[in-house]
Amino acid sequence: MLRLFNHAAKKPPVQTSAPGPIITLAGVVKEYETAAGPYLALRGVDLTVMPGEFVAVVGKSGSGKSTMMNMITGIDRPTRGEVHVTGTNLTHMQEGALAEWRGIHLGIIFQFFQLLPTLTVVENVMLPMDFCDIGNERQRLARAMALLERMEMVEQADKLPGALSGGQQQRVAIARALANDPPLLMADEPTGNLDSRTADSIFQLFKDLVAQGKTVVMVTHDNDLARRAGRAVLVADGQIAAPVAPPAPTSVGVPR
Amino acid sequence: MLRPRWKKVIRDLAFNPTRTALVVLSIAVGVFVFGTIMAGRVVFQREMHTSFLATNPASVIITTDPFDEDLVKAVRGMPAVAQAQGRRAVPARIQTGPETWQDSVFYVLPNDGVTEVGIVAPWKGTWPAPDNAVLIERASLAKAHTQLGSMITIQLPGHTARTLPVVGTTHDLSLPPAAISGQAFGYLTFNTLDWLGGAQTYNQLAIVVKGDRTDVAHIRAVADEIEQMLKRGGREVLNTDVPTPLQHPAEIILPTLLAILTTIGSLALLISTFLIINTIGAILTQQTRQIGVMKALGARTNQIAGMYFALSAAFGVLALVIAVPLSYLGGLMLTGFLSTQLNVDVTNFRLPPEVLLIELIAALVVPIAAAAVPIRGVTSRPAREALAGDTAAPAEPTAIDRLITRVRGLTRPTRLALRNTFRRRGRLVRTLAALALGGAVFVSSLTLQASLFTTLDKSIASQHYDVEVQFSRPYRIAQVAPVVLTVPEATSVEALLRNTAFPVRANGSTGEVLNMRAMPASTTMFAPRMAEGRWLLPSDRQTIVLSTNMKVKEPGIKVGDTITIKIGTNEQPWQVVGFIDEMMPPVNPALAYVSLAAYTHVYGGVGRTDTLRIATVGHDPASHKAAAEALERQLTLDGYDVRLIRSRSEDRAILAERFDLISVVLSLMAILIGIVGGLGLAGTMSINVLERTREIGIMRAVGAADRAVRQIVVSEGMVIAVLAWIIGTLLSLPMSYAMDYAFGVGLLNTPLTWSYSLPAVAAWLGAVLLIALVASLLPARSAVRLTVREVLAYE
């Protein structure tokens, strides 16, 4: 586990004994107002994810899996129900507080990588540390380079994202998601834009991270990948169609 | 080491040079125009004021019977007088062609050239003036058709014309520039004056008062005291002139001119603000997804807002780097232009700190303030919406959409172009506002220019005579009129008398000098432009018509009042029956018209005239010139002492020359404001196309040919241009009217005859269409050059 600097003061310690769930969705309902009238995207979702789990959320397009992901990341708020993530109740938090919380507690990986095009690879990785005021510039650079090395992207550190392949960009995006050493990684169709070989290598990276104590929740429509995750949750019509009881955590506690 | 977020700000500037250039230019042009005007204004006013003060200007100038140094000493000894100096001002004429003459005034300088009051500075050549030679005020050289080292022919009224050398030039700030006054000014010694036929005596007292030199009431009180002293000594006071204290004679035209320029500068800044809102808004829209990503990575709203405020400030700093040196140059040129026109030397041009501060505020605060609304709008958007991007069209069709759908005969691309135009209404409104304001100012400036000349023509047209002959002394009408009519070019003649008079106030004090004209009540040579009341009637007894600037000089006078007018020592009551519009600066002496019969009844001189107004066969400048020459020849041959002959064409030329300065400045401003507006359209079109790069890719993917894409983009530009032109034209109607009114009343004593410039409207249409074509074709060309794959990958 990378531990290049200490920002424990900014982050509640992760419990190492008798851990509680890292994600709890309780009766989450999400309703959108559309031109055609109200649209129910989530219809009372209950979900629990334990620390160290690798959960794949699968479902068809429009099933509500991305909405569920937005609930967990605090990118969107439920109409009803409660969302608890890393011990924080997100349900009534303000936008600013949510952003700050996100920066420390979770890393997000997007389908289209979403690297900032005008920043170099290493600068993209340093950005979350910059926003969360973690470490000084030297420490941030050192950590970013270490993460890139881990992703085998050191040689690309000074390139702009546009010069990289999709797979390389996704590796950088993963390094960026790990920048603030969050306990939870949320990946939205992380392999959806990649060829199968690259997708495999990215998936392997997630497995490695889980082995190192991270919790990974991956939204995907690829059933093969979902099957290879620790647990698969099927979402259909805004509901969890096949709730699966969480297995025992692969590793208890995260040495941080 | 710079934090990544600030690196992003810098790279956002560097990686989009076109966009950065557009925003920076939008700000820079506004700041440049504003800075140029402010710098020109501050420096010129300061330098003009300082230079003028250095001449120790007279507080009051009293013209009286000839006197010598003893009287000057007596006045100097008065407790309220700080300095007094005797002067001799001699009206004369300078020969400018075989039979053409320039009205002029010569001043006698002491032999050593040293003057205490209204100091005349040597400029080039010999100083002081030797005998039998003259010095010419440097701004009068062109008017006198002469130059240093040339010979010049001067004639004093009633004396022989003599030729003498121009041995030097002077700089005299106490005089209005020759182009504005219409007169040429020169200097000579008493001996030279004697040689030319003038008397070696003073006729003017130039006085500097003790105490507050800016207090007009105090100066008038001192002037009254001196007048009383002169009268006690049996002298007649011919004229008492109290110029605006410590103000250069040309300074009077500055406030109105500078107010108009400042308004135009402020409008340029306002237009620039609209453009900044548009471009920064577009950048934020384009980067909405990036903002969402940053939020997802933990960026707080204030951190993101800080980045975009820094970006706005950086645009401002870059604009400042361009605008400050340019406004320095612009200010230098404007000051140089004004100083040449107004005969003032600007020796020390530095960008005033206050102007620099204003530019700094304008360049930094304006974009930051302008960006605040779009920044707040985008950064406060929830992360989910930001991540989704902001490229969606309005969900609900608007009334305009429905209208576009209903209109028949439109091609699909045209329909799309029209819909696109109205898609981002906020941006469209700001673009239209910028372009329409630019157009309105452009048309208004050129309308003001046209109105100036229309008013001038109307004013000249109210004079139904072609040539005016002024004599050095009165002659019998019955003798001189037939002589005039023997000249083949002359068709009719009308005689009048001129004099200077003073209004007498209720408390016995006298007001400013009036130029009195006594003419037949049923004159056919003058069609007065009545502002109030009526013209003189043959049946009237002692009635008077005044020019409207009399109301400024003696507030409270109205039609029906009876005022006391003094000529010499003769005070008479006159009933005011009307006010007429006369095109002249309000500071000029007011004109008073009375009937010749009433005038001669009261003041004598029945059957005599000192001024003839003559109608000629031809009415063009060439005919006027020929008639003036023939009249001069005939009258001189018959022994009449002609002081001045001037034709209507010459009067027009003198007045038109005064408008040249204003005309040039207004045209320049019109062009600059046009550039600002055009830049706005170019910017908006580029942004619109850039934003729809993906959409264009989709259209091309489904079969749209390059021509169709180009047609959509160009049609959109044309629609915006035509809309802006219509709004700008409508806006220019009240704007030009208001500008004409303010300018006319402020500067020329009469509201200008509004002469709406249709050529300007047409020129502006051509300009906006051209700008729209270029501004939309360039991004359209870039868009069709991209491959579908590139366009669809565009983020």
pLDDT in tens, B481-514: 999 999 999 999 999 999 888 888 887 777 777 8
Rounded Cα–Cα distance for residues B622 and B368 (Å)? 61
Q: Quick check: B46 and B344 in contact, CB under 8 A? A: no
Strand pairing class (B543-547; B570-580): parallel
pLDDT of residue B422: 76
C-alpha B430: how far from chain center = 30
Q: Which two tokens stand for residue B387?
A: 């991540």
Domains of chain B, residue spans: 1-56+256-390, 60-251, 396-462+649-795, 467-617
pLDDT > 70: percent of chain A = 87
Residue A43 falls inside a structural domain: no
Closest Cα partner for B552 from B504, B517, B578, B588?
B588
**Lowest model confidence (mean pLDDT) among A157-171, B472-486, B773-787:** B773-787
Predicted confidence (pLDDT) at residue A60 exceeds the cutoff of 80? yes
Collect all residues of chain B within an 8 Å Cβ-Cβ radius of residue A99: 295, 298-301, 383
Point out which residues pair with A32 in neighbouring strands: A39
Query: To 10 degrees, what angle do helices B758-785 and B648-691 make?
Result: 20
Please name the residues in contact with B70: beta carbons below 8 A apart, sequence gap of 6 or more: none
Rounded Cα–Cα distance for residues B541 and B592 (Å)? 15
Of the candidates B7, B300, B387, the beta carbon closest to that of A99 is on B300
Q: Which two tokens stand for residue B137?
A: 């005020």
Q: Quick check: B290 and B284 in contact, CB under 8 A? A: no
Mutate: best of A77, A114, A129, A193, partner B, most B CBs <10 A? A114
Residue B589: C-alpha distances to residues B251, B548, B579 (Å): 17, 11, 14
Which of B105 and B377 is assigned the larger pLDDT? Answer: B105
Rounded Cα–Cα distance for residues B4 and B12 (Å)? 12
Closest Cα partner for B390 from B280, B275, B284?
B284
**Per-residue confidence at B77, pLDDT binned at 50, 70, 90?**
very high
- Judged by CB atoms closer than 8 Å, whether chains meet at B301 and A95 is answered as yes
Rounded Cα–Cα distance for residues B341 and B337 (Å)? 6
C-alpha B190: how far from chain center = 39
Predicted confidence (pLDDT) at residue A178 exceeds the cutoff of 50? yes
Residue A254 falls inside a structural domain: no
Residue A147 falls inside a structural domain: yes
Predicted confidence (pLDDT) at residue A241 exceeds the cutoff of 70? yes
pLDDT tens track for B17-37: 877 887 888 788 888 888 888
Predicted confidence (pLDDT) at residue B592 exceeds the cutoff of 90? yes
> A169 — contact with chain B (CB < 8 Å)?
no
Rounded Cα–Cα distance for residues A73 and A110 (Å)? 12
Which of B360 and B507 is assigned the larger pLDDT? Answer: B360
Predicted confidence (pLDDT) at residue B558 exceeds the cutoff of 70? yes
Average pLDDT over residues A63-89: 91
Q: Quick check: B521 and B536 in contact, CB under 8 A? A: yes
Concatenated DSSP letters for B688-735?
A: HHHHTHHHHHHHHHTT--HHHHHHHHHHHHHHHHHHHHHHHHHHHHHH
Of the candidates A35, A102, A131, the beta carbon closest to that of B396 is on A35
C-alpha B16: how far from chain center = 41
Q: Quick check: B681 and B720 in contact, CB under 8 A? A: yes
pLDDT tens track for B53-68: 989 999 999 888 888 8
pLDDT of residue B792: 54
Q: Quick check: A25 and A222 in contact, CB under 8 A? A: no
Residue A89: C-alpha distances to residues A78, A214, B128, B588 (Å): 12, 20, 96, 82
Angle CA(B717)–CA(B669)–CA(B268) in degrees, nearest 5? 60
Q: Quick check: B616 and B467 in contact, CB under 8 A? A: yes
Angle CA(A47)–CA(A51)–CA(A53) in degrees, nearest 5? 75
The dihedral region occupied by B613, where left means phi > 0, alpha psi between -120 and 50, and beta the remainder, is beta
pTM over 0.90: no
**Per-residue confidence at B187, pLDDT binned at 50, 70, 90?**
very high
Of the candidates A103, A108, A127, the beta carbon closest to that of B5 is on A127
C-alpha B758: how far from chain center = 21
Q: How many domains does chain A have?
A: 1
Which residue carries 């959320």 as its tokens? A57
Rounded Cα–Cα distance for residues A20 and A253 (Å)? 11
Helix (H) or strand (E) holding B774: helix B758-785
Amino acid at B783: A
pLDDT of residue A15: 37
pLDDT of residue B793: 54
Helix (H) or strand (E) holding B609: strand B608-616
**Per-residue confidence at A254, pLDDT binned at 50, 70, 90?**
very low
> A102 — contact with chain B (CB < 8 Å)?
yes
Rounded Cα–Cα distance for residues B207 and B245 (Å)? 12
- Judged by CB atoms closer than 8 Å, whether chains meet at B4 and A124 is answered as yes
Rounded Cα–Cα distance for residues A235 and A58 (Å)? 6
**Per-residue confidence at A245, pLDDT binned at 50, 70, 90?**
very low
Q: In B134-236, which ranges are E strands?
A: 134-137, 151-155, 162-171, 184-188, 202-209
> B462 — contact with chain A (CB < 8 Å)?
no
Q: Quick check: B205 and B226 in contact, CB under 8 A? A: yes
Q: Which two tokens stand for residue A252?
A: 């208890």
3-state secondary structure B167-181: EEEEECCCCCCHHHH
Rounded Cα–Cα distance for residues B112 and B131 (Å)? 12
- Judged by CB atoms closer than 8 Å, whether chains meet at A102 and B11 is answered as no
**Per-residue confidence at A4, pLDDT binned at 50, 70, 90?**
very low
Residue A144 falls inside a structural domain: yes
Residue A105: C-alpha distances to residues A184, B132, B297, B429 (Å): 7, 100, 10, 44
Q: Quick check: B355 and B42 in contact, CB under 8 A? A: yes
**Per-residue confidence at A37, pLDDT binned at 50, 70, 90?**
confident
Burial B423-453 (b: 16+ CB within 10 A, else e): bbeebbebbbbbbbbbbbbbbbbbbbbbbbb
Q: Quick check: B747 and B656 in contact, CB under 8 A? A: no
Predicted confidence (pLDDT) at residue A16 exceeds the cutoff of 70? no
> Interface pTM (ipTM) of the complex?
0.82
Instruction: Find the CATH number of the domain harbouring A121.
Output: 3.40.50.300
- Judged by CB atoms closer than 8 Å, whether chains meet at A130 and B4 is answered as yes
C-alpha B25: how far from chain center = 27
Of the candidates B15, B297, B301, the beta carbon closest to that of A127 is on B297
pLDDT of residue B736: 92
Q: Quick check: A128 and A180 in contact, CB under 8 A? A: yes
Q: How many residues does chain B have?
A: 795
- Judged by CB atoms closer than 8 Å, whether chains meet at B298 and A110 is answered as no
- Judged by CB atoms closer than 8 Å, whether chains meet at B383 and A119 is answered as no
Burial of B559 (0-12, 13-18, 19+ CB in 10 A): middle
> A100 — contact with chain B (CB < 8 Å)?
yes
Predicted confidence (pLDDT) at residue A12 exceeds the cutoff of 60? no
Rounded to the nearest 10 degrees, how much is the dihedral formed by the CA atoms of B310, B313, B319, B321? -90
Which residue carries 């172009």 as its tokens? B417
**Domain of residue A190, residue span:** 50-78+90-242
> B608 — contact with chain A (CB < 8 Å)?
no
Amino acid at B706: D
Burial B575-605 (b: 16+ CB within 10 A, else e): ebbbbbbbbbbbbebbbbbbbbbbbbebbeb
Average pLDDT over residues A182-190: 91
Q: Which two tokens stand for residue B158?
A: 């009633």
Collect all residues of chain A within an 8 Å Cβ-Cβ radius of residue B384: 70, 75-76
pLDDT of residue A249: 47
Residue A180 falls inside a structural domain: yes
Strand pairing class (A54-59; A215-220): parallel
Number of neighbouring beta carbons within 10 Å of residue B107 = 23
> A93 — contact with chain B (CB < 8 Å)?
no
Q: Quick check: B155 and B93 in contact, CB under 8 A? A: yes
**Lowest model confidence (mean pLDDT) among A136-145, A156-165, B24-33, B773-782:** B773-782
Q: Looking at CA atoms only, how far is residue B388 from chain A in angstroms?
A: 11
Residue A215 falls inside a structural domain: yes
**Lowest model confidence (mean pLDDT) among B343-357, B684-698, B765-779:** B684-698
Collect all residues of chain B within an 8 Å Cβ-Cβ radius of residue A180: 298
Q: Which two tokens stand for residue A9?
A: 């003061």
Q: Looking at CA atoms only, how far is residue B691 from chain A in angstroms?
A: 17
Rounded Cα–Cα distance for residues B298 and B544 (Å)? 84
Strand pairing class (B514-519; B590-595): parallel
pLDDT > 90: percent of chain B = 31
Point out which residues pair with B204 in neighbouring strands: B63, B87
**What does residue B24 show for φ and ψ, rounded to 5 degrees?**
-60, -45
By three-state DSSP, how is residue B236 classified?
coil
**What does residue B685 show for φ and ψ, rounded to 5 degrees?**
-65, -45
Rounded to the nearest 10 degrees, how much is the dihedral formed by the CA atoms of B603, B607, B611, B614? 150
Rounded Cα–Cα distance for residues A106 and A124 (Å)? 16
> A220 — contact with chain B (CB < 8 Å)?
no
**Per-residue confidence at B778, pLDDT binned at 50, 70, 90?**
confident
Average pLDDT over residues B406-423: 71
Rounded Cα–Cα distance for residues A39 and A30 (Å)? 8
Q: Quick check: A219 and A57 in contact, CB under 8 A? A: yes
- Establish, for the pair of chains A and B, how many residue pairs have beta carbons separated by less than 8 Å: 91
pLDDT > 90: percent of chain A = 41
Q: Quick check: A191 and A142 in contact, CB under 8 A? A: no
**Per-residue confidence at A255, pLDDT binned at 50, 70, 90?**
very low
| Bond preceding residue B255 cis, omega within 30 of 0 | no
